[in-house]
Chains A and B, each alone.
Chain A
Amino acid sequence: MVGLGLGAGIAEEVWVVAHPSVQRIDRQTLQRIYTGRVLSIGGQAVLPVNLPPGNLVREEFLRLCLDQAEEQYTGYWLVRRYVGKGTPPPELLGVDEVIRHIQATPGAIGYLPASRAPRGVNVIFKP
């Protein structure tokens, strides 16, 4: 099992979760969504959100799902912003906000530790 230690040394999976309007996706599509290259899936606009830099869940998500380190990801968006091709996904303060956001916002996509996933949440990708 791939996972992360969330400060307490407990390895845990990171799941990509979304509003029920979003269908399951593959890794490549997920990478394209989080790099601003795909805006919709099957006609549904997608609205990815991130956790803030320095968050362990974010670091693990970037590593496992996007195959990138924080420096690469922020560097990518730094250039993309300054060539006028868009801005990075908005950031939410923590996992609780991610959960509230994806439950309330059609098209919303986020990620969280598997243990924090609410019952019945729409998991669209597991690394």
Chain B
Amino acid sequence: MSFKNMSMPMRFVRAGLLLSGMACGSAEAFDLTWSGFGTLGYAQSDESVRYQRFIDNNGTVKRDTVFGAQVDARFSQQWGATLQAKVAPSDHRDNRWQASLAWAFLSWRPSDDWLIRAGKLRLPFMLNTENADVGATYDFVRLPQEVYSIAPTTDILGLSISKTWLGETYDWTAEAYTGSASTYWRYYGRDRTMSTSQPGSWFLPIDIRSTGLVLTARSLSHVFRIGYHEGESSRPGEKTRSDFQYGACPAAIPSQPCYNLAPGGVDKQRVPILTLGASVTLPQDFKLTGEFAKMRVSDSASRGLSRWGGYLALSRRIGSWVPYGYYAKVKSQGDALSLYQRIDANANVVHPAFQSYQHLVADLTTPYDQSTIAVGTSFWVTTNSVVKAEWSRVSTGVASSFVDAPQGGASGDRRFDVFSLSYGFTF
């Protein structure tokens, strides 16, 4: 038996080796395939302030560019393993690139309807969370961050068990998972950071435990998904500040009172997340996709992390073209936005020496209030390579932590355009 070296849907190098008497105990085909993927993306806005870490009016390739490779090993009909590594901008430094292991799991499929995976897994939060790094698997230039950012982590080291019921029209899959991860949350101080008197970003190490249940109904034309995820976050070796207090400013200079982080804090925070998604094929090859997520981070000074986000997208396949448009919105809880506004306004009341300090405390609330309207198109050059272009207009309300506000300024009440171009491929 000889397997062809050029395979579908991409060119896999496939080692079709018959290994008699393997660990599985019988003559099974050990099948090893590898594939590669990548996105080369460029984005530029008409604003000098940075958006989503990297995008400004100088243009950047760092926002969307990622390269990776995946190895799938099948030891038998039931047992397999997957490794996926990628190179992308670092998740804990703005000026570095980072190689990391996105997937590394062992899978066991004892029957058609059960799949058990253990190792490093990507969670089934939104419809495209698991394949978010592979731009050739969806039509948008960039998955709407208003929704796709709502998860403290998308990767865990843990266990996933899924059961599928095959129906006449729909396959129903229930997937339960549990696991933990160490990740980082990015903060940006427009005037100063926690440790320096200069504007900039910093990344707090966070430990996450997450358990969830996701139900997906899938047919050839439609997908519906609902999930509930119960997370628990903590800072390794430290308490997390959970509140603010209004009192004396932190230096002996006569001034109106300041907002300060309250002393103490909590060891753990509860992080429940609800996710909803649907993608429906309509007549004339139109597709309507909508997703929604809501997260609450209890007992956190960063109250703005508790937020909801949603988007609605309409696309249509016309030959190799898939033009699309979407509207997306994210908003923190009202009390978080009010708190941000009070602290931000207090910066104009306190002694000028404390102004940057008050801006820092306001930034720590991590507010989100923005919407995006986008139109774009993908053009499928082949079945495994795609060129995409998108124009989007971003509007911020009270404030948006996606925007690195300028020194002395604010991220709120801004309108700016972002133009993006990308090439995605697999091989």
Is B137 touching A78 in the complex (CB atoms < 8 A)? yes
- Check if A79 sits within 8 Å of B4, measured CB to CB: no
B267 interface residue per 8 A CB criterion: no
Q: Is the CB of B9 within 8 A of A74?
A: yes
Does B339 belong to the interface (CB within 8 Å)?
no
**Given the contacts A78-B10, A81-B72, A52 and B4 also touching, CB distance less than 8 Å:** yes
**Binary contact readout A63-77 vs B (1 if CB under 8 angstroms, 0 otherwise):** 000011011011101
**How far, in whole Å, are A90 and B15 apart by their CA atoms in the complex?**
10
Which one of A4-12, A13-21, A37-45, A114-122 contacts B?
A37-45
* A67 CA to B220 CA, complexed, in Å: 10
Is the CB of B229 closer than 8 A to any CB of chain A? no
Identify A90's interface contact among B16, B111, B117, B134, CB under 8 A. B16
- One of B101-109, B248-256, B294-302, B350-358 contacting the partner: B101-109
Residues of A within 8 A of B87 (CB): none
Q: How far is the CA of A39 from the CA of B8 in the complex (A)?
A: 19
Chain A residue at minimum C-beta to C-beta distance from B317: A71
Chain B residues positioned under 8 Å from A86 (CB to CB):
72, 80
Q: Which residues of B contact A75 (CB under 8 A)?
A: 9, 137, 383
B287 contacts the other chain (Cβ, under 8 Å)?
A: no
- Interface mask (B33-65 → A, CB under 8 Å = 1, otherwise 0): 101010000000000000000000000000000
Pair A70/B383 contact, Cβ less than 8 Å: yes
The residue from A82, A84, A101 contacting B121, defined by CB atoms under 8 A apart = A84
Q: What is the CA–CA distance of A82 and B37 in the complex, to the nearest angstrom?
A: 10
Interfacial chain A residues near B329, Cβ < 8 Å: none
A38–B72 contact, CB under 8 A? no
> For the complex, is A27 an interface residue (Cβ under 8 Å from B)?
no
Contacts of B115 in A (CB 8 A): 85
Contact yes or no, B1 A82, CB < 8 A: no
Contact B384 A37, beta carbon cutoff 8 Å: no
Q: Output the nearest chain B residue to A93 by Cβ-Cβ distance.
A: B4
Q: Is the CB of B117 within 8 A of A45?
A: no
B33 touches A39 (CB 8 A): no
Interface residues on A, range: 35 or more
Query: Which chain A residues lie closer than 8 Å to B335 at the CB level?
Result: none
Which residues in window 113-156 of B have CB below 8 A to A?
115, 117, 121-122, 124, 130-131, 133-134, 136-137
Q: Report chain B residues within 8 Å CB of A68.
A: 220
Q: Which A residues from 19 to 62 make CB contacts under 8 A with B?
A: 28, 32, 37-40, 45, 47, 50, 52-53
Residues of B within 8 A of A38 (CB): 112, 166
On whether the beta carbons of A77 and B7 are closer than 8 Å, the reply is no
- Assembled-state Cα–Cα distance A71/B133 (Å): 20
Is B164 interfacial (CB 8 A cutoff)?
yes
Cross-chain contact B112 with A37 (CB below 8 angstroms): yes
On whether the beta carbons of A50 and B122 are closer than 8 Å, the reply is no
**A88 interface residue, CB < 8 Å from B?**
yes
* B308 beta carbon closer than 8 Å to chain A: no
Evaluate contact between B4 and A82: CB separation under 8 angstroms.
no
Q: Is the CB of B77 within 8 A of A91?
A: no
What separation, in Å, do the CA atoms of A70 and B168 have in the docked complex? Answer: 23
Q: Taking the nearest CB of chain A, how far is it from the CB of B172, in angstroms?
A: 12
The answer to whether B383 and A74 have CB atoms under 8 Å apart is: yes
Q: Does B95 contact A (CB under 8 A)?
A: no
Task: Tell whether B371 is near chain A: CB-to-CB under 8 Å.
Answer: no
Indicate whether B91 reaches chain A with its CB closer than 8 angstroms.
Answer: no
Interface positions, chain A 72-127, Cβ under 8 Å from B, are 73-75, 77-79, 81-88, 90-93, 97, 100-101, 104-105
Report yes or no: A45 in contact with B130, Cβ–Cβ below 8 A: no
Q: Is B14 an interface residue (CB 8 A)?
A: yes
Q: List 20 A-B contacts (CB under 8 A).
A: A37-B112, A39-B78, A45-B77, A67-B220, A73-B9, A74-B383, A74-B384, A77-B8, A81-B70, A81-B72, A82-B70, A83-B131, A87-B74, A90-B3, A90-B16, A91-B4, A91-B8, A91-B14, A93-B4, A104-B1
Task: Give B contacts to A, CB under 8 Å.
Answer: 1-4, 6-10, 12, 14, 16, 29, 31, 33, 35, 37, 70, 72, 74, 77-78, 80, 82, 84, 103, 105, 107, 109, 111-112, 115, 117, 121-122, 124, 130-131, 133-134, 136-137, 164, 166, 168, 171, 220, 380, 383-384, 426
Write the residues of chain A forming the contact surface with B, with a CB cutoff of 8 angstroms.
28, 32, 37-40, 45, 47, 50, 52-53, 67-68, 70-71, 73-75, 77-79, 81-88, 90-93, 97, 100-101, 104-105
3 smallest CB-CB distances across A and B, nearest first, come from: A74-B9, A83-B130, A82-B131
